[in-house]
Amino acid sequence: MRRSTGLLGTTALGLVLGGVVMNTTPAFADLPTIDIAAIAQSVKSFAQETGILNVLNAMNTVQSTINQTMSDIKGAIGPSTYGDTNTLLQQGFTQNANYAKAQVGAMGQLADASNTANTLVQRTFRNAQLRDDHTLSPQACMALNFGQSITIAAGQSSKVSASIGLITDRRGQALPGTPAHEGEGQAIAAVTQLHLTRYCSEDEGAAGLCTVDATRQNLDQSAGSLTGFSVYDATDNNGVNAANDYATNLIQTVVPGAIRGDALTSAAGQDAEARRRRYNAKISMARKITNDIIGSRTVSANLTADQKQQMVDQGLTPSDQSSWLGALDLEVNRRAGGTAWHASLQAMPPKSVMVEIATELAMGNTIAIARLKLEQQHAAVSAALLATAAEAELKPVNSMPTPQMASQ
């Protein structure tokens, strides 16, 4: 009985709620025998007893509050001239989203542009590095010019030494056309006359033998004439002549007379000629060394503008030509004490520094070859001295006279 009453009340409550909430209009024509007012009163009483009416009143209050809030929002936003609130909010959110997407796109473009610009900068740096690595520095060009001058001068100095050797060997061997071929007296007279003509001293001038030139007095006896300059005076070959005449007095002032004619065909003459050949060989070796010294200091190469400037930097009088030793001296001093070279070295890229190092090594090889040639000559001189010492140690064998037995 109680269960049936509860089911009936629930059903009635559902009808009341549906009518209140949905606000339906009763169809009076369809219910002529039902007392709607009585039913409504019963439902209201039931709702009050169970507390449902309070819930309904609270729901109506919440709904009124929501409606008032939405009305306040609409009042705050303004009149709906440009559309309803929902549409405006949707458009606003859409616009903000578009702004955000545009911002992201702009940031992406900025990143792409930055990466592109950085790539261009890095490529420019790399191109500059490649350019620096494959473009010779001015110092490398100067080194090449100096090297060419040294190479040409080295070849010319060898020719000068050989030319002097042809003359001095003929003189030392007393060949036909030389004073010693006619005799030792003629050789002494010739060398004396050469001295008086070129290097007259004050005493010789006072004796009336020659005319004194103070700038050339006894230069054929001064070691400075041979090794005092890296470049000989090219005026009328005075420097070369003084060096050669000093070498003559140093090695072989007087040439022994030639063994010729009947003296050469005799047994004693043949023996003397054999000893003379040994003497000539030693003299030729000694003169070869001095001839190379003379050749290395004889003018043999044209100088460039940079080489002339280096002469000025060294406090020398610039000239248009120099010797092998002079050109080599300029190149060595350019790197040893040249401020321009050291300043350029500080700014050189690694490739140019490596080129400078290779050039230095090549220059060292050039000097090493010259040193090797000189050491070979010194070795030959040492061999000749050793042979002379060995010959001196060999005691000659003296034959004892054979007694003659007289017959009785």
DSSP codes, 151-206: HHHHHHHHHHHHHHHHHHHHHHTT-TTSHHHH-HHHHHHHHHHHHHHH---HHHHH
Q: What is the pLDDT of residue 11?
A: 52
Torsion of CA 352, 356, 358, 362, to 10 degrees: 150
Residue 326 predicted with pLDDT over 80: yes
Region 129-153 average pLDDT:
80
Residue 399 predicted with pLDDT over 80: no
Q: What is the pLDDT of residue 285?
A: 93
Q: Element (H or E) spanning 322, and its range? A: strand 321-322
Q: What is the pLDDT of residue 289?
A: 93
Comparing 239 with 23, the larger pLDDT belongs to 239
Region 9-31 average pLDDT:
50
Give the pLDDT band (50/70/90) at residue 36: low
pLDDT in tens, 223-240: 999 999 899 988 788 999
Residue 407 predicted with pLDDT over 60: no
Q: What is the pLDDT of residue 77?
A: 59
What b-and-e string marks burial along 200-209, b requiring 16 or more CB atoms within 10 Å of the CB? Answer: bbeebbeeee
Residue 191 predicted with pLDDT over 80: yes
Residue 180 predicted with pLDDT over 50: yes
Instruction: Count how many residues are written for the chain.
Output: 408
Cα angle at 91 between 89 and 97, to 5 degrees?
A: 105
Predicted structure pTM score: 0.64
Contact 288, 164 (CB under 8 A): no
Q: Measure the CA–CA gap between 31 and 24, rounded to whole angstroms.
A: 15
Q: What is the pLDDT of residue 44?
A: 67
Region 234-256 average pLDDT:
91
Contact 310, 244 (CB under 8 A): no
Burial of 174 (0-12, 13-18, 19+ CB in 10 A): buried
pLDDT in tens, 73-88: 666 655 556 667 677 7
Q: What is the pLDDT of residue 3?
A: 45
Q: Among 1-5, 186-190, 260-264, which range has the highest average pLDDT? A: 186-190
For 232, the token pair is 């000989």
pLDDT in tens, 94-118: 888 888 889 898 998 999 999 999 9
Q: Measure the CA–CA gap between 208 and 216, rounded to whole angstroms.
A: 17
Residue whose pair of structure tokens reads 């610009």 in the numeric block: 117
Q: Measure the CA–CA gap between 31 and 5, rounded to whole angstroms.
A: 23
Residue 401 predicted with pLDDT over 90: no
Contact 325, 298 (CB under 8 A): no
Q: What is the pLDDT of residue 125?
A: 86
What does each C-alpha distance from 189 to 177, 182, 287 come to in angstroms? 15, 11, 21
Region 146-171 average pLDDT:
90
Domain ranges of the chain: 139-387
Dihedrals φ, ψ of 323, to 5°?
A: -100, 180
Q: What is the pLDDT of residue 39?
A: 67
Comparing 129 with 368, the larger pLDDT belongs to 368
Q: Among 63-67, 159-163, 341-345, which range has the highest average pLDDT? A: 159-163
Contact 291, 310 (CB under 8 A): no
Q: What is the pLDDT of residue 75?
A: 66
Q: What is the pLDDT of residue 227?
A: 92
Q: What is the pLDDT of residue 78?
A: 58
Contact 290, 226 (CB under 8 A): yes
Contact 135, 127 (CB under 8 A): no
**Segment 398-407 long-range contacts (CB within 8 Å, at least 24 positions apart):** none
Q: What is the pLDDT of residue 153?
A: 87
Residues contacting residue 196 through CB under 8 Å, at least 6 positions apart: 204, 209, 210
pLDDT in tens, 308-319: 888 888 888 888
Mean pLDDT of the chain: 82
Q: What is the pLDDT of residue 7?
A: 47
Q: What is the pLDDT of residue 224?
A: 93
Q: Measure the CA–CA gap between 27 and 16, rounded to whole angstroms.
A: 15
Q: What is the pLDDT of residue 243?
A: 95
Q: What is the pLDDT of residue 192?
A: 94
